[in-house]
Amino acid sequence: MNKIIEKFQLSESVYQLKVEAPLIATERKPGQFILLLLSENGERIPLTISDADPLEGHITLIFQAVGKTTHLLANMNEGDFIANLVGPLGTPTHIENFGSVVCVGGGIGAAPLYPIVQGLKNAGNKISVILGARNKELLILENKMKASSDELIVCTDDGSYGRKCLVTEPLKELCEQNNKPDLVVAIGPPIMMKFCSETTRPFNVSTVVSLNTIMIDGTGMCGGCRVTVGNKTKFVCVDGPEFDGHLVDFDNMMIRLRAYKKREDSDHHQCHINLKIEDKD
Amino acid sequence: MTYIPPEILQHDAKILIEKLKSKQNSLTPKDRISIPPQEMPTQDPNKRNKNMNEVALGFFVEQAKLEAMRCIQCKNAPCVDGCPVRIDIPGFIKAIAQEDFKKAIEIIKNNSLLASVCGRVCPQETQCQETCTVGKSLKDVNKAVSIGRLERYVADWERTQKNIADPIVKPNTGKKVAIVGCGPAGITVAADVRREGHAVTIFEAFHKTGGVLVYGIPEFRLPKKIVQEEVDFLKKMGVEIKTNFIVGRTRKLTDLIQKDGFDAIFIGSGAGLPRFMNIEGENLVGVFSANEYLTRSNLMKAYDKENAHTPIFDSKIVAVLGGGNVAMDAARTALRIGAQEVHLIYRRTEVEMPARVEEVVHAKEEGVIFHILQNAKQIIGDENGHVKAIECLKYELGEPDASGRRRPVEISGSEFNIAVDTVIVAIGNDSNPLIKQTTPSLETNRWGNIIVDENCKSSIDGIYAGGDIVLGAATVILAMGQGRIAARSINEYLQD
């Protein structure tokens, strides 16, 4: 049982929770995630840890209400308890002084990116952050990213804020400079990570991506999270979640993410009906 | 084997008992051996393959008595040598023949805490029953005394009794023991160590206790209520259980000793990484490890499509690869979830199948289609990346290999396709990597299994291990056997 001690709505469908989890707050490192399960009949879902305070004993989770469990979580309030929360899981980000690093966060991907930006910054790297979102309303963590980086580039698909472009455009420009980046970290929707990897490939810039696949146990037991990396099967929960973006088979990963689409669509529809009913109360 | 309805089994047993009544105390070994082996009453195959309820219903009292009377009480008791936890088998069977069920279960409990589990899932035909003198004289291991079914009978009998004696625990010693994993090995160690008066905390990674008994073995083979009762018994003894706690990640193994004051640790973290065939098409949508498929159904209750939030793949035609108990569990689960056809593909013959004979018989009765001497060559996908067929190859048996079993040799040019939408791979597991990854000082072998000595002690003082994390994919009873050894070592270690 983990108590929700603070809840914020960051945008129309994006929420931030501070949750009591003293041991996880102490042990977690950038790049790691937790799994949670809200009830006996619930589903175990992975969520990245976007921040933690070991002294206060809490962790911060940022998530978008997209599926059944995230909708239920969005309906919970301060003081409520999350029935089951386990972590930290996954191999932490490899942090060292690479030199200059470009960190790309797309949409909700800014949440897992934030602790990595902090970690890389503390290790002495020069950090450029590219934050992308569909529109201004969906942009998150802008101020925090600004405070932790040397340069921040914001872009939106519709041009409602920052540059009107996809994140790959400024990424390409940075790669074309004389002193191209030593490392790129890209976290966001699979399609964004795929195209970021394609953008950096001709420049030979190492590119790390963080994959968010379907998981059940998260401890290397079920294999549901497996992806093809460099023609080898890897388990996201224990071998990842971070991999070399130039080796990941994103097309296969995207197909696997949709394995239960039919069921999810009907659940999603149901969630929205429930949300609307509750809105009226 | 043809299906015999339970009421007929009971009827026949009643008549025979009546017949034997007059000479019950003067039965010769020959009389005993001539009593027919009692068949386990089961649900009708055509009904049970559509429900999750337990398949085997347990002996009727008359059957239990008759089966117990088949035991000739031989002096050398080879059955005991075949039992990893050395239960006094002739002793408890004699008590059943005398209708003293209380005494029977007490005898079993001297050596095994999980009688109702082991009576259901132990591979008796390769353990206690393999060496049974009755089976030997009838020249058929399947006609040995059904020790497992008798064990189950008295364990179930005890569960229906109101006044089960509270466990006896010695006064507190002030010593603390941590147990990693609440599966069969961990449960056994917890009971044996707690009994000596040491404080015991079990750390379980999942939200539920029971380990493989809960996530792996299906409800229709081992009702989860039984597992829960065994865990409740531990709680009654004062064992503390922390779920959602991953030793190695939530807290480092060494921190448990250095910072949290535990005096000894037992690691029973179980199986890990499912093995795949390494063939083309294994990451298509519709290919699952048996671990994933069974975890969805068992632990997450995905078979209850109305209520569970965890989805399970809507399969029509399923191929299961493998010939072990897990393969049978996956095949039978797929039928129950609604698959129209389930094909089990195994590259050797039925004789070499590692699954228990009973599971093979049950799977066939329920309609699983067996393809022996065949193996998958590749999985074929459609334009959307979903499974549409499996290409197989036919095999024949050649010379014996290192395991003593005749090696399957592929017949070239024998490729053929089966149209399927789901493939479940059930060919075993590698070790769980988490503790190894986070505890560099712990010695492991090249497969990642923890190396222990004959007392189940690891390379680090005070740290012991047992079960699948040591043995690789093994059985519930072997995990319990190692648990007993480890518990004895821990109790000795804490005495010093």
Query: CA–CA separation, A211 vs A257, rounded Å?
Result: 11
B166, part of any domain: no
The answer to whether residue A37 neighbours chain B at the CB level (below 8 Å) is yes
Query: Alpha-carbon distance B329 to B363, whole Å?
Result: 8
> How far apart (Å, rounded) are the C-alpha atoms in residues A65 and A58?
21
Give the DSSP per-residue string, B61-93: HHHHHHHHHT----TT-HHHHT-TT---HHHHH
The alpha carbon of residue B418 is apart from the nearest alpha carbon of chain A, in Å, by 21
H or E segment at A231? none
* Chain A residue closest in CA terms to B203: A86
- How many domains does one find in chain B? 3
pLDDT digits (tens, 9 = 90+) for B242-256: 999 999 999 999 999
The Cα–Cα gap between B280 and B268 comes to 34
Residues of A in contact with B245 (CB under 8 A): 86
Question: Is residue B383 domain-resident?
Answer: yes
- Mean pLDDT for the stretch of residues A5-29: 94
Q: How far apart are CA A189 and CA A195, in angstroms?
A: 10
Note whether B140 and B73 are same-domain residues: yes
Provide, as residue numbers in chain B, all residues whose Cβ is less than 8 Å from the Cβ of A67: none
Q: Tokens 């008359």 label which residue?
A: B62
What crossing angle do the helices spanning B89-97 and B101-109 adopt, rounded to 10°?
170
d(CA B342, CA B364): 10
Mean pLDDT of chain B: 93
Residue B488 and residue B407 share a domain: no
Task: Specify the 3-state DSSP secondary structure of B431.
Answer: strand
Q: Do the Cβ atoms of A222 and B289 come within 8 Å?
A: yes
Kindly report which listed range (B16-20, B344-348, B369-373) carries the lowest average pLDDT score: B16-20
Question: Each residue of B95-122: pLDDT tens digit?
Answer: 999 999 999 999 998 888 788 988 998 8
A43-53: pLDDT as tens digits = 999 999 999 99
Ranking B31-40, B300-309, B382-391 by mean pLDDT, the lowest is B300-309
> Do the Cβ atoms of B464 and B472 come closer than 8 Å?
no
Do B59 and B196 reside in the same domain of the chain?
Answer: no
Residues B147 and B68 in one domain: yes
Residue to substitute from B253, B273, B275, interface A, most A β-carbons within 10 A:
B273
Q: Which domain holds residue B436?
A: 176-272+430-493
Q: What is the dihedral of CA B107, B112, B115, B118, to 10 degrees?
A: -130
Which domain CATH number covers B220? Answer: 3.50.50.60
Percentage of chain A with pLDDT > 90? Answer: 84
Q: In angstroms, rounded to a whole number, what is the distance separating the alpha carbons of residues A5 and A80? A: 8
Task: Tell me whether residues B282 and A233 touch, CB distance under 8 A.
Answer: yes
Residue B464 and residue B343 in one domain:
no
B236 and B253 co-located in one domain: yes
Cβ–Cβ of B246/A217 closer than 8 Å?
A: no
Please give, rounded to a whole number of angstroms, the shortest distance from the CA of A257 to a CA of chain B.
9
Q: Is residue A47 within 8 Å of residue A64, measured between CB atoms?
A: no
Last residue of a domain, one of B112, B131, B161: B161
Same domain assignment for residues B286 and B407: yes
Q: Among all residues of chain A, which has the CA nearest to that of B303? A: A41
Q: What is the pTM of this model?
A: 0.91
CB A58 within 8 A of CB A21: yes
Does the CB of A217 have a partner CB in chain B at under 8 Å? yes
Contact residues, chain A, for B273 at CB < 8 Å: 220-221, 223, 235, 238
B301 and B400 co-located in one domain: yes
Query: Count of alpha carbons within 13 Å of A27, Cβ hemisphere only?
Result: 24
**Which residues of chain A have a CB within 8 Å of the CB of B307?**
41
Query: How much is the pLDDT for A267?
Result: 65
A255 at the B interface (CB within 8 A)? Answer: yes
Give the CATH number, domain containing residue B91. 1.10.1060.10
**Same domain membership, residue B133 and residue B14:** yes
* pLDDT tops 50 at residue B31: yes
Asked if A66 has any chain B CB less than 8 Å from its own CB, the reply is no
Predicted-complex ipTM score:
0.90
Q: How does DSSP classify residue B243?
A: -
Residues 6+ apart with CB under 8 A from B412: none
Q: Are residues B463 and B479 in the same domain?
A: yes
Return the residue of B nearest to A45 by Cα: B310
Residue B75 belongs to some domain of the structure: yes
Inform me whether the pLDDT recorded for B215 exceeds 80.
yes
Mean pLDDT of B134-159: 94
> Of B378, B405, B427, which residue constitutes the final position of a domain?
B427
- CB nearest to B291's CB, from A41, A44, A223: A223
B219, B298 contact by CB (below 8 A)? yes
Look at residue B167 and tell me if it is in a domain: no
Tell whether B168 is covered by a domain. no
Alpha-carbon span B164 to B167, nearest angstrom: 9
Contacts of A240 in chain B (CB under 8 A): none
Is residue B59 assigned to a domain? Answer: yes
Determine contact, residues B195/B183, Cβ cutoff 8 Å: no
Structural domain includes residue B33: yes
| Domain contains B77 | yes
Mean pLDDT, to the nearest integer, of A10-21?
93
Looking at the structure, tell me whether residues B267 and B285 fall in a common domain. no
Last residue of a domain, one of B393, B410, B427: B427
Helix axes B89-97, B147-160, angle to 10 degrees: 60
**Separation between Cα atoms, residue A52 and residue A65, nearest integer Å:** 21
The rounded distance, in Å, linking the Cα atoms of B377 and A80 is: 51
Nearest CA in chain A to B294: A222
Are both B347 and B371 inside the same structural domain?
yes
Contact in structure between A106 and A98 (CB atoms under 8 Å): no
pLDDT score at B445: 92
Q: Rounded to the nearest 5°, which phi and psi values hold at A72?
A: -60, -40
User: CB–CB of B364/B338 below 8 Å?
Assistant: no
Element (H, E) at A64: strand A58-64
Residue of B243, B251, B283 lying closest to A256 (CB–CB): B283
Per-residue pLDDT averaged across A20-47, rounded?
94
